[in-house]
Amino acid sequence: MEMKINVSVLIKVLALQCLAVLCASQDFDFFYFVQQWPGSYCDTNKGCCYPKTGKPAADFGIHGLWPNYKDGSYPSNCDPQAPFNPSEIRDLSSRIQKDWPTLACPSGDGLAFWEHEWTKHGTCSESVLDQHDYFATALSLKNQSNLLRSLKTAGIIPNGGYYSLESIKSAIKDGMGYTPYIECNVDESGNSQLYQVYLCVDSNGSSLIECPVFPHGKCGSTIEFPTF
């Protein structure tokens, strides 16, 4: 009899351990911190709409902070129980409007974009960053990473000119200390252009790191840096 109780306890313990392993697999290894160049979002066939608050500054804007695995895959939509709640980020309101503007059509106030990013990506790093800290961390990373200045120092400016992909990567590496991943899209004439810059961040959201893995994609060897 005593033996039977022990076996059932053992089974329960094992079941809990399996559950813990399953839950842990919801975790992640690092973040991509992704910024978008508004000129390249806007001059595609799809076009863009300025936010209701007006034309954003001619600067990189935040797209998102995305939990990722070292094997290149990533979790998404991890917690339907954690809806986006704008009142939790009220104190960040002016900074988020300035640094995380929405360019999708129709014109919006940004809430739909931030909600999408929280629901798809932010809910997968809740073990480390709650909703307020998720947005505050992205804003602070934006503050630490002046991409436009790094590029300008190397003579790379958003003037509609063409620059080698290598020169863009090394300008950001020299300015930031870490090698970025550059994502391109194409303008209305089909030219490859600088669309998004990915930097990697440790799983606490506290420091930039070298990327454990880069996304795959295609840019020309020379790409356009459009005006905005």
Neighbours of 62 (CB within 10 A): 21
Q: Is 104 in the site for ligand 5GP (CB under 6 A)?
A: yes
Catalytic residue among 2, 63, 132, 166: 63
Q: Is 195 in the site for ligand 5GP (CB under 6 A)?
A: no
Q: Smallest gap, in angstroms, from Cβ of residue 43 to ligand 5GP? A: 14
Q: Select the span of 2-10, 96-104, 150-158, 169-177 touching ligand 5GP (CB under 6 A).
A: 96-104
Q: Is 37 in the site for ligand 5GP (CB under 6 A)?
A: no
- Of the candidates 35, 40, 97, 102, which one interacts with ligand 5GP according to CB under 6 A? 102
Q: What is the C-alpha separation between 68 and 142, in angstroms, rounded?
A: 19
Give the residue from 42, 73, 17 showing the smallest Cα distance to 158.
Answer: 42
- Of the candidates 39, 64, 122, 158, which one interacts with ligand 5GP according to CB under 6 A? 64
Q: What is the C-alpha separation between 150 and 69, in angstroms, rounded?
A: 28
Output the CA–CA distances (angstroms, integers) from residue 84 to 5, 123, 128, in the order listed: 45, 9, 17
Dihedral of the alpha carbons of 20, 26, 30, 34, in degrees to the nearest 10: -160
Residues of this chain that bind ligand 5GP (CB under 6 A):
32, 36, 41, 63-64, 66, 68, 74, 102-104, 113, 116, 120, 215
